[in-house]
Amino acid sequence: MRELPYYSVRMRASKSKPHEEGGKHISGGEQLVLFDEIRGAVDKLLLKSLTHSRGTPDFAQIQFEIVDEPIQVISPLTITTHITHSVDEGQLLAQNLLMKCGVPFHIIQKAYLLMEDHAELSGAILIDSKTGRRLDESHGNGKGIRVSRMDWRDENFKKWNREIAANQNDRLKEAITLASKVSMHQATVAELCWSDDPDYTTGYVASKKFGYQRITSLKEYGDEQGCRIFFVNSSEDITKYIDYLKKNPVLIQWEVNHD
């Protein structure tokens, strides 16, 4: 039996100028869908770009392309939610989790400094978990690496959601999808993330070992400074790693008896 081909559909939207000319990042999105679903995916991404809490875009690009590589099907990371009552409490917890994953405290501090110096990112910063050196700058436009070609089929996500999360939310789906793809790779030590959307304060630390650890307050409401950092084992081939993040197609699938 021949499997149907999948298509990668991607969107990026910015304000005042395109990203590469220094415009403000508004929104991005990626989906992996079948041919008959391209129109729906484009529609959904267009709506996402036009109705965003970071502002109205002046530039947007939506594109699709066929994916030739075989699709890898993986399980979602396990999810744990920590209700925290202040940003200080949330941040302390995030840092403790990163240390449990093996990222030393002084590297975490370096990462926060790097992040503050690069406020206008549309992708993820890659940081060497042993030296704190940034690893992605010579790859791409300096705006971070955008992970792409991953998705979680709605039906399966809804099933997972009903039984595990009870939080019907596209953002959660997108974040776990990305975190599961990223964690899967042996070069990833841990990921730290919170949204750059001013109306969303929940973020997470993700890793193979501890799964997707949600933390409800990683920044103040109204703050437009987001974060996405991958702590990386740099003894792995970084060019290949970045290629995996951008190009390898991954679908998330949850099986009831498989965890």
Which residues are at the interface with Mg ion (CB under 5 A)?
8, 30, 148-149, 174, 196-197
Q: Which residues contact 19 (CB under 8 A, 6 or more apart)?
A: 12, 25, 122, 141, 143
Q: Per-residue string for binding with ligand WAQ, 212-231, x by CB under 6 A?
A: --x-----------x-x---
Q: What is the token pair recorded at 193?
A: 């993330």
219 vs 88: CA distance, rounded Å: 9
Beta strands in 76-226 (DSSP E): 79-82, 125-128, 150-152, 188-194, 203-207, 211-215
Closest distance of CB 143 from Mg ion, Å? 13
Neighbour order of strands in the sheet with 203-207: 79-82, 211-215, 203-207, 188-194, 227-232, 125-128
Among residues 23, 76, 203, 211, which is the contact residue for ligand WAQ, using CB under 6 A? 203
Helices 105-117 and 87-100 sit at what angle, rounded to 10 degrees? Answer: 120
46 vs 60: CA distance, rounded Å: 9
193 binds ligand WAQ (CB under 6 A): yes
Decide which of Mg ion, ligand WAQ, none touches 249; Cβ closer than 5 to 8 Å per partner kind.
none
Please, which residue, 129 or 248, has the CB nearer to Mg ion? Answer: 248
Decide which of Mg ion, ligand WAQ, none touches 203; Cβ closer than 5 to 8 Å per partner kind.
ligand WAQ
Decide which of ligand WAQ, Mg ion, none touches 149; Cβ closer than 5 to 8 Å per partner kind.
Mg ion
Tell me the one-letter amino acid at 97.
Answer: L
The H or E element spanning position 27 is: strand 24-34
Closest distance of CB 197 from Mg ion, Å? 4
How many residues line the site for ligand WAQ (CB under 6 A)?
Answer: 26
Closest distance of CB 198 from Mg ion, Å? 9
91-150 residues in contact with ligand WAQ (CB under 6 A) are 121-124, 144-147
121 vs 227: CA distance, rounded Å: 9
Please, which residue, 47 or 105, has the CB nearer to ligand WAQ? Answer: 47
19 backbone dihedrals φ, ψ, rounded to 5°: -50, -45
Q: Per-residue string for binding with ligand WAQ, 150-179, x by CB under 6 A?
A: ---------------------xx--x--x-
93 vs 126: CA distance, rounded Å: 21
Closest distance of CB 100 from Mg ion, Å? 26
Tell me the one-letter amino acid at 252.
Answer: I
Contact 58, 23 (CB under 8 A): yes
Among residues 157, 204, 241, 254, which is the contact residue for ligand WAQ, using CB under 6 A? 204
Give the residues lining the site for ligand WAQ (CB under 6 A).
Answer: 25, 28, 30, 121-124, 144-147, 171-172, 175, 178, 193, 195-197, 200, 202-204, 214, 226, 228
